[in-house]
Amino acid sequence: MLAAGLSQPSADDASPLTPPASWQRDQAFGFIVGLVLGVSIGLGFGLVLGARHVLVLVFGLLFGLVFGVVWGLSFPLTWTASLAFAQLARRWHTPARLMRFLEDARERDVMRTVGPVYQFRHARLQDRLAGQATHA
């Protein structure tokens, strides 16, 4: 996961995605991949194991759908980011809905977006907040 993040090129203004759009696109992609994978695996097992029994075929398909939904919800990187947001909220008392908070900060001109990334608009504010975090 860390290697994937470090291997990405830096953010630039040429990216048409906003952070919320990138978030939603990643969730939709993971869910679709999960459903396709689950249905394929379930249908394959159902056909191999129970070609003559309709009940086994239906069970395989239902198992595939459940597997697909679980995989689709846990596959995207938004899942790990959501867990990180929860950890930050618990340990450092950040807002629980961090994406909404960051989007609100962008609307109030405290943050800006560069492609799918949030950045502080004012370098002195960032330095001051970073200094307060190191003293604590």
Contact 106, 21 (CB under 8 A): no
pTM value is 0.65
- pLDDT recorded at residue 15: 61
Residue 63 has pLDDT above 70, yes or no: yes
- pLDDT recorded at residue 2: 36
Q: What CA–CA distance (Å, rounded) separates 23 from 113? A: 14
Give the single-character DSSP code of 136. -
- pLDDT recorded at residue 103: 93
Q: What is the mean pLDDT of the chain?
A: 81
Residue 127 has pLDDT above 90, yes or no: no
Residue 9 has pLDDT above 60, yes or no: no
- pLDDT recorded at residue 4: 45
**Angle of the 19-49 helix axis to the 98-107 helix axis, nearest 10:** 150
pLDDT band at 80 (very low <50, low <70, confident <90, very high): confident
DSSP sequence for 83-95 = HHHHHHHHHH---
Tens digits of per-residue pLDDT, 24-50? 888 888 888 888 888 888 888 777 876
